[in-house]
């Protein structure tokens, strides 16, 4: 009963959280265009492509200041673009350098730059050679990926300061990258649980401190049968966890819509996770998992007795005088009495 209430309560909390989050996003979504009134249509369009759901006000301001460059990284490119030579000229310079000596191949402009600036310059040149051939929209996921453009640090700070913005970027990430994000955070949060051989990673996800508290993992946190809350605390011997329906863990069922991000996708995103989280916690059996051997039991008493096999505890001692045998299971002790001491007891009881 308590478990059920916990699960339900978690679901309500999760929904409430989603609702609040969505309200927050909606408010920002509708408030955002107001901050762009003085911008041209092209600016607004570019900014929306880059981040249509900027929930943080600073993010809006940040992109507002340099709206023409939609991705989070382009300021250096923007500043240095006028001074960059064309690709044909670069090729010509390269050809000329090959023809002439290496020492004499430096142009006056390159000699004036610092080494780091030269690296940035070449990176920018490489970037430009790619950006010119690719669609602008394809550039967004790249900038949101783990390897942030080396342009500015404010870009990274703006992303880290916006959980939902980061979530959007996750959708643009490769599946293995998403798994890394999902799996790395919970491990840091894991606590007070001994070694779990071949334990499902999903058992760690419930403690994810990530902004995805509304994920199935976050919901399962409340339903977790924490040993601290159990009267029988056997040194973290066992725990309850939602059923193996989540086992083995499956990849995050995030709908991949990198470039078609809009409000409807937002709702679909959150609702999809919420629905899966509800279906991920069936009130079925085997909810009590031994942390030592990962064996599942349907009853806490069964798990408690099972824990005796790991601890070697044998609380049930044979009451027969001269028989110091102890058993971990009461029924086994009684059986022992019946079998071994029946000859001595039966005549007494019978007579």
Partner DNA sequence: GCCTCTGTTCTA
Partner DNA sequence: TAGAACAGAGG
344 binds DNA (CB under 7 A): no
The residue range among 51-59, 103-111, 246-254, 290-298 that interacts with DNA, by the rule CB under 7 A, is 290-298
The residue range among 109-117, 121-129, 138-146, 336-344 that interacts with DNA, by the rule CB under 7 A, is 336-344
| Near DNA in 310-329, by CB under 7 A | 314, 325, 327-329
Q: Which two tokens stand for residue 317?
A: 């001692």
Q: Which two tokens stand for residue 261?
A: 């991000």
Shortest distance, CB of residue 164 to DNA, whole angstroms?
A: 35
Distance CA 199, CA 296 (A): 12
Answer for the pair 298, 286: CB distance below 8 angstroms, yes or no.
yes
232 binds DNA (CB under 7 A): yes
For DNA (CB under 7 A), the number of binding residues is 31
Question: Binding mask 52-91 vs DNA (x if CB under 7 A, - otherwise)?
Answer: ----------------------------------------
Distance CA 225, CA 223 (A): 6
Nearest to 168 by CA among 56, 76, 257: 257
The residue range among 34-42, 200-208, 250-258, 289-297 that interacts with DNA, by the rule CB under 7 A, is 289-297
295 binds DNA (CB under 7 A): yes
Residue 327: its H or E element: strand 326-327
CA distances from 153 to 31, 32, 148, 342 (A): 26, 23, 9, 81
For 236, residues 6+ apart whose C-beta sits below 8 A from its C-beta are 192, 193, 194, 227, 291
CA distances from 271 to 17, 18, 53, 253 (A): 12, 9, 17, 11
User: Could you say which of 315, 335, 345, 346 contacts DNA (CB under 7 A)?
Assistant: 335
Nearest to 295 by CA among 244, 229, 220: 244
Question: Binding mask 127-156 vs DNA (x if CB under 7 A, - otherwise)?
Answer: ------------------------------
The residue range among 10-18, 96-104, 130-138, 304-312 that interacts with DNA, by the rule CB under 7 A, is 304-312
CA distances from 16 to 9, 19, 86 (A): 10, 5, 54
301 binds DNA (CB under 7 A): yes
The residue range among 34-42, 158-166, 187-195, 308-316 that interacts with DNA, by the rule CB under 7 A, is 308-316
- Return residues touching DNA (CB under 7 A): 1, 3-4, 232, 283, 293, 295, 297-302, 304-306, 308-309, 314, 325, 327-332, 334-336, 339-340
């Amino acid at each position: 009963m308590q478990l059920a209430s916990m699960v339900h309560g978690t679901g309500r909390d999760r929904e409430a959280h989603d609702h609040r989050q969505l309200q927050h996003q909606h408010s920002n979504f509708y408030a955002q265009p107001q901050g762009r009134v003085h911008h041209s249509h092209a600016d607004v369009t570019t900014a929306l492509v880059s981040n249509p759901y900027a929930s943080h006000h600073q993010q809006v301001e940040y992109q507002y200041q340099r709206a023409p460059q939609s991705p989070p990284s382009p300021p250096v490119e923007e500043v240095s673009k006028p001074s960059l030579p064309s690709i044909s000229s670069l090729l010509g310079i390269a050809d000329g350098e090959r023809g002439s000596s290496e020492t004499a191949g430096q142009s006056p402009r390159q000699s004036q730059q610092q080494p780091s600036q030269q690296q940035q310059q070449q990176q920018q040149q490489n970037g430009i050679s790619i950006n010119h051939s690719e669609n602008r929209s394809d550039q967004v996921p790249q900038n949101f990926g783990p390897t942030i453009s080396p342009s500015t640090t404010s870009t990274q700070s703006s992303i880290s300061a916006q959980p939902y913005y980061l979530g959007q970027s996750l959708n643009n990430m490769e599946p293995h990258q998403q798994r890394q994000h999902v799996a790395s955070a919970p491990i840091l949060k894991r606590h007070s649980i001994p070694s779990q051989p071949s334990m499902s990673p999903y058992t760690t996800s419930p403690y994810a401190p990530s902004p995805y508290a509304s994920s199935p993992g976050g919901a399962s946190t409340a339903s977790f049968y924490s040993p601290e809350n159990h009267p029988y605390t056997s040194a973290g011997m066992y725990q309850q966890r939602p059923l193996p329906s989540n086992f083995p863990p499956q990849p995050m069922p995030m709908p991949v819509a990198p470039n078609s991000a809009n409000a409807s996708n937002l709702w679909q995103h959150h609702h999809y996770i919420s629905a899966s989280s509800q279906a991920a916690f069936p009130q079925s059996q085997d909810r009590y998992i031994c942390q030592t051997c990962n064996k599942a039991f349907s009853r806490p008493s069964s798990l408690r007795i099972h824990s005796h096999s790991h601890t070697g505890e044998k609380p049930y001692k044979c009451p027969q005088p001269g028989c110091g045998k102890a058993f971990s299971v009461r029924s086994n002790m009684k059986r022992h009495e019946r079998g071994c001491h029946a000859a001595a007891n039966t005549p007494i009881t019978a007579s």
